[in-house]
Structure formats: C-alpha cells, structure tokens
Amino acid sequence: MNDINALVNACHAAPNQVLGLNADQSSGRLRITCYFPHINNIEFVEILALLPSKKTSKFDKGESVKSLGKLTKVHESGLYSLKLRRKNTFNYRLRITTAEDTRIIDDPYFFSATLGELDIYLLSEGNHQKPYEKLGAHQQVNSLNEQDVHGVSFSVWAPNASHVSVIGDFNHWDERSHPMQNITCNKVTSGYWNIFIPKAVTGQHYKFAIKDNNGTALPFKADPYGNQAQYRPDTASIISAKDNFAWKDQNWLAEREKRNSINAPISIYEVHLGSWRRRENNEFLNYREIADQLIPYTIEMGFTHLQLMPVSEFPFDGSWGYQPVGLFAPTARFGNEADFQYFVDACHQANLGLLIDWVPGHFPSDDHGLATFDGTHLFEHEDPRQGFHPDWNTLIYNYGRVEVANFLRASALHWLDKYHVDGIRVDAVASMLYLDYSRKENEWIPNIHGGRENLAAVAFLKRFNEELYQQHPGAFSVAEESTSWPGVSRPTHDGGLGFGYKWNMGWMNDSLQYMQREPVHRSHHHDELSFSLVYAFDENFILPLSHDEVVHGKGSILQKMPGDAWQQFANVRAYYSFMWAHPGKKLLFMGCEFAQGKEWDHDKQLDWYQLDIHWHSGVQKLIKDLNKLYCNTPALYEKDCEADGFSWLDHQNREQSIYSFIRFGHAANIAANNTTKETAEENAVIVVCNFTSEKHQHFKLGVPDSGEYIELLNSDAEIYGGSNTLNIGTLLSVELPWQGQQQYIEITVPPLATAMFMLKNSSLKLENKQ
C-alpha cells in the first residue's frame, strides 16, 4: 500500500523497483505494474516470435503475442497491476484500449537506464567532454525482440531531489506517468535521473517535475540541456529532431585557422538579431530570412566577421539575451536548431566568420530556470554575498562545483561543435573575476588567501579556454574584461587566462570621452587619445564600439559628437578612421556604420531610412572603404598586437590637436630597418589625424622611406560628406630629417579628418585608392 500511495502521489523514491516487471518481494514471482490514467483496459502480452511480415498483425507490431491476462486497476487514478506465475523475466508488451482504439505499446520501465556508469563517473568528476549528448532529451533507438523501439531518452541532474518525473505532451503533463530512475552506481544513487520513453517524438513539449528532499513540489523546470525551447512567454523545452543537417562549410573550416589568425584582418559587425531588420508589422525575421539579408549586407560592408548578441534562449526581450535560461538552445524568436544551422552555414559559405555572445557570469531567477533547481542552490551559491548579483538582480554560478563548471564549459563548446560557430565572446568577465565586484564593504567573502580574486572563476575560465583551443582549432575566444587584470589574452601555460583577445575598454572610454569634448578644449586633454598606446600591446586587443555605448541614455555615436551637423559627422568620420588605423582588431555595433541619429532601441529595427540622407550614406561609404583598406593592407592588420607594428611620429602636438603615426606590416618593418627595399613586400601606412576644424597647409609629415607618396584614404572626401580637402596626385619626399625619420612629405591636413598615405611604388595593389 505504501508503494501505491507513493506512486499515485508522485513521490516514490525508487519507482523503477515497482513499475515495470519486478519480482514480488513476498513470493519471488513477477509482478507487472504500470500507470495509465487515460485508458480503459490493459492487457499483458508475451512476445512469442516475429511474424514474416508486419502486415499480418492487426496491431502495430509484426509479432506473434500471447495474452497473459488483464491488469487490475489497483487505484482509481490509473495504477494497474498483475501478479504472474513466473519468476524469470521475459520480453513483453502491453495491449491497451482507449476510447479511440486498441494497440500494443512498449513499457518504459522494461528498458534499462540509458545513462551509463562511465558517463556518470565523468559527469560527477566534471570531466565529461560532451555532456550535452547525454543529458537532456535525445532521440534513441532501443531493441526489443529484434525490433527497433524508437523513443526519447531523458536525463537530468538533480542530486538533492526526492522525486523527478518528466512531463509533457506525451503523458498529458501528468507527473505520475513517467517517474524517473535515480541511477545507482556502486550501490549509491548518483543524482542523475533517467528514463526512456518509447514513441515520444520530435516537437513534443516537456519539462521536469521535481520534488525537493522534503517532498515539496517545485515549479516545473525546463531542461537545462534542452536543445530547443518554446517561444516566450511559454517556457517548456521541446524534443528536437536528430541532427542531420547537411553542412557545406568544409572549405571555410579548412581555412578558418588562417582567417582567424592574430595576423589576419578581423573586422567585426556586432548585431542584435531582433532589431537589425524587422518585417513591416514589426515582427521578427527568422534565422533564414536574416541570413538572406544580413550576410550579403555584411559582406558588402567589408566586415570579416559577425558577432551576435546572445542567441541562447532567454525569457525577457529587454535583457537582449544577457539573462539566459536555455544555454544550449537557439532562441525560438527566430526559428529552430536547423534554422540557426542554416544561418551559420550561410555565413561560412560567404566566407564570413561568426562569433556569439556567451553569458556564464550570471543567470535569472525565473521559476522554470536553474534557480533552486532541485530545491537547493544547485547551480548558484547559497550565500547571497557570493550567489547574488546586485547590478542585475540575477544569480551567480558556483564555479567551484565541478558539475556546474562542466555544464557551463559544455554550454559554450557545444555552439562550436553542433553549430560550427567560430568564436565565443564571454560577457562580463570582470564580474566573474572579482569577489567584490560592484559590492560594498562586508557584502563579499574573501578567498582562502584573504584576497578579492574569485579563484574558482579563474580556474574555470582557464580550463574553458584550454578546451576551446584544444578541441576546436581555428576558433577563438574574446573577453569583455574592463579592468587591468594581467594576462587576460596570455596563454594559460604562461600564467594567463587563455583568451584569444580582450576588448580594449580603456581605449573605448578614453577615446569617446575625448571625442565628446569641444574641439577647442581638446588640446587640454590631448593624452586621452594617445594614452591607449602605452598599453596597446599588453594584450591582444579588439577595439570595441559596441551596443553598450549607444543605450541607456548615452546617445548614439553621432549624438556624442559636438558641434553642428557638419561637425558631428566630420567628427564621426575622423574618429572611425582613427579607430581603423589604430592597432587592434575592430568591432562596430550595427547602426553605427551609417551614424544612426538616435540611440539603439531593441524594440524596433534600425533607422534605415536615414541612408537617404547623404551624410549618413557617406559614413556608410567610409566604413566600406575603411574595411576594404584594412583587409587589403597588411601594415594595418599584420601587427595589430605587436609593438613593432606601430611608431609615433608625433603624439605631442597639443596646440593643433593633431596625431601622426606609422603602421608597419611584417615586410614593411624590414624596410624601415634599413634592409633593401626589394625585400619589402608590403609598405608602411602613415596616418595623420586632425581633431579640430582648422585646415593646415604645407604640413610636414615624416615618412620611413623616400619616394613618391599617395593618399590612400581621406575621411574629409566629398563622397563621405566632407569638404573635399584632399591631397591629389603624388607627394615627393624631401630628404631632410623630420619627426625621427630621414625624410618627410608636405601635405594639407584636412579639417576634422584622418588621412592615410603610402608609397606610390609599394608592392601593395592600390585597389584601396578612393
């Protein structure tokens, strides 16, 4: 009677010892027990033999079967049982009768656990390479009497739960129908719950019904490893189809390591998929529609990579994806798994790299998510001084728990494995590294050494990077890290965190602060723009003008600029050109490429109509040409992260607010060091930036080689919306020392503009000439 009560109240600790075919404790004879609340009759049948053809059976199995009796309803809720004369197990099925039909089905409790001891051992150690292939819901084929039984294996980690059931469309969301087995290893329950449900199929919705250690029911939980989820506001997980996507990106993957090299040009277009473009009724485009529009545009603009703000499932649009609950599922806002795979494949076939944002720093407290998942603080720290994020009212992962760290690492790496993405940008790294991040005194707990460093998070990030680079050659990681933590992009074997790149937040903050000043005041703050070169090569930097700079009342890039409309656009053009000439890879948020007038609004598409205004279209044309110049000019990218790829000509011209410098590629540097010019395959680029509205004629600019120079790009060109103060024709060097060089050229410095120059007889093909 205790078993019956426990089963019908969904609280049995070991349901697999009662449900299915088990030995009766008193007699040793077999007893079949099952729970079916929505049927009229159950008959227990033995499988005798396969029939020659399935067509000869009036049921849905091609077998000869023998009835061993009808099961007796032992509880009105739908619990049935039958005691047999036999003591030895055998193959069987159940013949059920409903109001609609009679059919033969398979008993879920006939099948053994589909999660093996080795998997559980590796999971418990936190060392499973692909836990997403074992936990969650997976299509599976088992065998019974030489016939395939198709169904779905469900597995979930809930070590402190007293009872777990899987509920869904396949069982009328009745938590009594499919209680899961807490798998035992070495006579100890593992905390990993599992069940195989025959005939569960693709597209059905499901959740886990979990009771805590005291038997209290928790809110139904979505699958932490779910591959697909419902479109908000619904929150169930969805059984996904077996992955059979036909990838066509083999050529890209073969060349990816070269394209993503630190010596390659990397110019990133950051995109929020929900607001880049929308349909006329303001509805989202799907992944395939986005691919057909976004990818050609990105290629036309000359960017080498796309970076998507988080695409993993999240409940609240206003979080932009930075409060995810489904780390393994592409958000249903834009389609399903195959749709996202199509998007990635289309990127690669267009020779466009793809990065995605990943958020391991915190997670929301939504009831259907990870918060108090099994009734305890399983994924998060229990103490709010470690487990609660005051900035975002979110929860913080317990990186010191090996199962949690394994879950998180896998959630990142599966995007590279299953979806072929090329890079992971890790959000809010600083909030992970410091125990006192955004906390007042006495609101945080020091580490074991009394320090503020989160040692568990440091170890987690290091291992994440090691596994990424070991398992996915050619892919790379990026840290959004806003402090001076040393060695963020240094290999772990050299004491670093192991990231490929770090966002240069210092450059972004200082340069924007400088650009927001009136030109007349900039001479008093000259170091704000040059200071970044003091540390520009301490890390492998990406220069970011991201979504964070154009939201929350900060205004658009254009709105930050002082002066009238002409001056604002001139400032934007000069600034972008300075950015593209500055050492470091590039990142620009969508809308900034045409200097959108208003700050970004995630609830609507960009203001594309502004491209009808020549000043906006001029900035867009400039970004196209900057990307083209950058990608075709090795001096502008080969040594983005090496100190000998940059040399100041003059960074102290405060009176005129002019900066001038040289960028070198590998071969150009050889030439500059007095090796014969014939060995220099590429030549240096000389850059001058003027951040006032004054034009300067007969301006002397030092150059590293003698000869005839030409202007490669001038942000004041009329085609960009400028005043067209250009340096037309060739500029012959004068053989007199200037600015530390042995010769100089005489130029006209345009107002509020950046100009770049190169030797006319450079071996570089001057396709970049505007």
Catalytically annotated residues: 427, 480
How are strands ordered across the β-sheet holding 147-157? 136-144, 147-157, 188-198, 181-185
CA distance readout (Å), 406 to 397, 399, 472:
12, 9, 17
Which amino acid appears at position 245 of this protein?
F
**Three-class DSSP labels, 124-178:** HHCCCCCHHHCCEEEEEEEEECCEEEEEEEEEEECCCCCEEEEEEHHHCCCCCCC
Assess contact for 489 and 480: CB atoms under 8 A.
no
The torsion angles phi and psi of 387, rounded to 5 degrees, stand at -105, 0
Neighbours of 283 (CB within 10 A): 9
Q: Which residues face 141 on adjacent strands?
A: 150
Alpha carbon distance 441, 427 (integer Å): 25
Do the Cβ atoms of 757 and 766 come closer than 8 Å? no
> Cα–Cα distances in Å, from 167 out to 13, 178, 238, 279, 314?
17, 7, 12, 36, 21
CB 239 within 8 A of CB 152: yes
* Nearest in space to 344 (alpha carbons), one of 470, 410, 256: 256
Where is 355: in which H helix or E strand? strand 353-358
Q: Is the alpha carbon torsion for 395, 398, 403, 406 positive or negative?
A: positive
Main-chain dihedrals φ then ψ at residue 660, nearest 5 degrees? -140, 140
Report the run of H or E that residue 522 belongs to, with start and end. Answer: helix 519-522
Q: Which of 367, 396, 78, 377 is nearest to 209 (CA)?
A: 367
CA trace torsion 429, 431, 435, 437 (10° rounding): 140
Antiparallel, parallel or unpaired: β 79-83 and 30-35: antiparallel
Phi, psi of 388 (to 5 degrees): -125, 135
Dihedral angle sign, alpha carbons of residues 495, 498, 500, 504: negative
Q: Pinpoint the alpha helices (H) of 582-653.
A: 614-632
Torsion of CA 630, 636, 638, 639, to 10 degrees: -150
Spell out the residues 6+ positions from residue 367 whose beta carbon is closer than 8 angstroms to its own: 219
591: which residues sit within 8 A by CB, 6+ positions away?
550, 556, 600, 606, 607
CA angle 573, 575, 578 (to 5 degrees): 110
The total of other beta-carbon atoms located within 10 Å of residue 122's CB is 17
Contact 280, 242 (CB under 8 A): no
Distances (CA, A) of 470 to 122, 130, 465, 466, 622: 19, 14, 8, 6, 39
Q: Tell me which H or E stretch contains 353.
A: strand 353-358
The answer to whether the peptide bond before residue 233 is cis (omega within 30 degrees of 0) is: yes
CA neighbours within 13 Å on the CB side: how many for 288? Answer: 6
CB-based contact 380:398 (threshold 8 Å): yes
